[in-house]
Amino acid sequence: MDMLKSADPHYSGLPAPVSVPLKPFNKAAFMIRVTLLGLVILSIYGFITFDYRGVNTLDGLLASFKNFKVMFTQAHFKHLTFGEALYGILVTVGLAFLTTLFGGIIALFLGLFAARNLSNNKVSNIIKSIAAFIRAVPTVLWVLIFAVAAGLGSVAAVVGMTFHSVSYLIKAYSESFEELDEGVIEALKGSGANWWQIVNQAVLPTALTSILSWTFFRFEINFGVAVAMGAAAGAGGIGFDMFMASSYYLDLGEIGMITYFILAFAILLEVFATKLKARLHNKP
């Protein structure tokens, strides 16, 4: 080291700089930047053209804080009983469970064909493209689309939420399947195993923890969506009770109590999910 210092007067003792390759500017990067620029322009245009006449921001904030204070400090049941609220929560949980169950079963089979290591690229690209399109449309819009055919109610909510759940879980499941070591698949193929034997003996056992984790995460999402669909699509449950309390009875205290009910069940679901994930990760 001393010889290097004496031989090179410019030697600083620091390692030579390493060139980091930059990501090339391709079509995908161009489309992302164009999309972001378009959203920024639309946002600025919306703020400029918004009609602010008769709007007092300070008065609006003060009124909102006052309503929140009444909602959460004077919570009560007036038009609902405790039993009716509990029944509404169970209906909402049942709606979320059904949509997650149906979506998980359908997505499990489609996810196997969407995984690149278990299917050919053409089939995988077709399934993933369709799923991406369905996933890009909000769940409430799918529910309203199916409501045109089936009418407002639980049927439209279940079908619409299942439709979106399938597309979401296809992406999650297929990516979990693609994480499997290619060497395992090649070894099973070399031993004469067919496609279904590879799936049953290697793919599903390896990805089981990830599948259950993603499924329960989607169940939590569907619970929140089911609350909104109870009001937007007339699916019933605690969401419809909240809609009635806010739009028909105009009872802020009852809205607050229903919110506490929803929050309590959401916390219970989160605790159960955390314990389930920990148990699965610790399972040998």
Q: pLDDT confidence of 281, banded at 50, 70, 90?
A: low
Question: pTM of whole model > 0.85?
Answer: no
* 275 vs 150 pLDDT, higher one: 275
Task: Give the model confidence (pLDDT) of 39-82 as tens digits.
Answer: 899 989 888 887 777 777 788 788 888 888 888 888 888 888 88
Each domain of the chain, given as residue ranges in start order, spans: 79-282
Distance of alpha carbon 213 from alpha carbon 207, whole angstroms: 10
Per-residue model confidence as pLDDT tens digits over 82-102: 888 888 888 888 888 999 999
CATH number of this structure's domain 79-282, picked from the four choices 3.10.290.10, 3.90.1150.10, 1.10.3720.10, 3.90.420.10: 1.10.3720.10
**CA 155-157-159 angle, 5° bins:** 70
Which parts of the chain fold into alpha helices (H)? Answer: 2-7, 27-49, 57-73, 82-114, 121-136, 139-150, 154-178, 182-190, 195-198, 204-232, 238-247, 252-282
pLDDT at 14 over 90: no
**Interatomic CA distance for residues 69 and 62, integer angstroms:** 11
